[in-house]
Amino acid sequence: MQNKPDIYIINGPNLNLTGKRQPEIYGTESFSDFIPALQAEFPQVQLHYFQSNVEGELINKLHEAGFSAAGIILNAGAYTHTSVAIGDAVKAIQSPVIEVHMSNVWTREEFRHISYLSGVCRGVIAGFGFGSYRLALLSLLGS
């Protein structure tokens, strides 16, 4: 049996509350519903889901996955706009990283227009809710 490519979805702070948190922005569905549905839609890959509210744990996961994963889909939440350290971690690893956001950050407050990740990621997808993750996965499959 052939090994499937490992794709990591790494979510940062507050994304564990998706479904309950600001539903007018992030919707009412949770990641515990979405991830199995995405896996069922893409049986040719092995998805790995990780979420943490702790900056260092996100960095540790990037280090752990980043030398073997076929791709990493990263929503660093608010750390996107503040974390030089997560940006450096993305630079340090080898796997392609796609920056994603559920909301269109450029239509929101100005502090959300700054990203320490965009310049070191392969691409950025924002504004499509859970669809941002799906599009990121499609982009990894096409690359």
Rule CB under 6 A: say whether 105 interacts with ligand DQA: yes
Q: Which is nearer to ligand DQA, 46 or 50 (CB)?
A: 50
Rule CB under 6 A: say whether 87 interacts with ligand DQA: no
Q: What are phi and psi of 27, to 5 degrees?
A: 85, -175
Among residue numbers 33 through 72, which ones bind ligand DQA (CB under 6 A)?
Answer: none
Q: Which is nearer to ligand DQA, 11 or 95 (CB)?
A: 11
Choices 58-66, 73-81, 90-98, 113-121 (CB under 6 A): range interacting with ligand DQA? 73-81
Rule CB under 6 A: say whether 77 interacts with ligand DQA: yes
Q: Which of 26, 79, 116, 133 is catalytic?
A: 26
Q: How far is CA 25 from CA 22, 30, 31, 98, 102, in A?
A: 6, 13, 15, 21, 8
Give the count of residues interacting with ligand DQA (CB under 6 A): 10
Binding mask 109-138 for ligand DQA (x = CB under 6 A): ---x--------------------------
Q: How far is CA 105 from CA 35, 100, 113, 124, 137, in A?
A: 22, 10, 6, 11, 20
Residues that bind ligand DQA (CB under 6 A): 14, 75, 77-78, 80, 101-103, 105, 112
Q: Which residues are catalytic?
A: 26, 101
